[in-house]
Amino acid sequence: MGLIIDTNVFIDAEQGRMHLTQIPALKKHREAFISVITISELLAGVHLAKTIDERIKRSAFVQHIIATIPALDFDQAVAKTYSELHVYFLTSRKAAPAIHDLQISATAITYGYPVLTSNSADFKKIPGLEVLSP
């Protein structure tokens, strides 16, 4: 059984707030994945670094993640799930999570995996999604 790691888990690890090897959910699940949306968010963080030192360190950190954790594409099946979630929030008039969170969630739901996130409050709003906290 696998899980999808949300972007903020990596941000917390990069900033020293947690260590990935000490997260119980990562030990329990055999496989870990990221969404291609997470890759774009992590790379945006590299570009937003305030100093060249921070950018170099962050870039190395992100490249290691991309090289070692398989990414799941935002393909037609994920797009179908995303459209259902998007319309649910439009028609229910409930506050929708951020678009990237919804896209990551659609990926997780499509593949049948939970999402590991430090942002469980927003992700728990999404129907059909299993949410794990580090």
Question: pLDDT tens across 69-81, in order?
Answer: 999 999 999 999 9
* Contact residues for 83 (Cβ-Cβ < 8 A; gap 6+): none
Number of domains in the chain: 1
Tell me the average pLDDT across 86-102. Answer: 93
For residue 35 the two structure tokens come to 């969404």
- Residue 1 has a pLDDT of 80
Q: Are 51 and 68 in contact (CB under 8 A)?
A: no
Tell me the average pLDDT across 30-59. Answer: 95
Q: What pTM does this model have?
A: 0.91
User: Is residue 36 predicted with pLDDT exceeding 90?
Assistant: yes
- Domain at 98, CATH number: 3.40.50.1010
For residue 111 the two structure tokens come to 């593949």
Q: Are 82 and 106 in contact (CB under 8 A)?
A: yes
Q: Are 132 and 15 in contact (CB under 8 A)?
A: no
- Residue 55 has a pLDDT of 97
pLDDT tens column, 112-127? 999 999 999 999 999 9
| Nearest in space to 65 (alpha carbons), one of 36, 91, 105 | 36
- Residue 93 has a pLDDT of 86
Range of the domain at 11: 2-132
Q: What is the chain's mean pLDDT, rounded?
A: 93
Residue 6 buriedness (CB in 10 A; 0-12 / 13-18 / 19+): buried
- Residue 65 has a pLDDT of 94
Residue 23 CA to residue 76 CA, distance in Å, equals 32
- Residue 80 has a pLDDT of 98
Q: Which residues pair with 3 in a beta bridge?
A: 32
User: Is residue 26 predicted with pLDDT exceeding 90?
Assistant: no
Tell me the average pLDDT across 52-67. Answer: 96
- Residue 22 has a pLDDT of 75
Secondary structure class of 75 (helix, strand, coil): coil
Residue 20 CA to residue 14 CA, distance in Å, equals 10
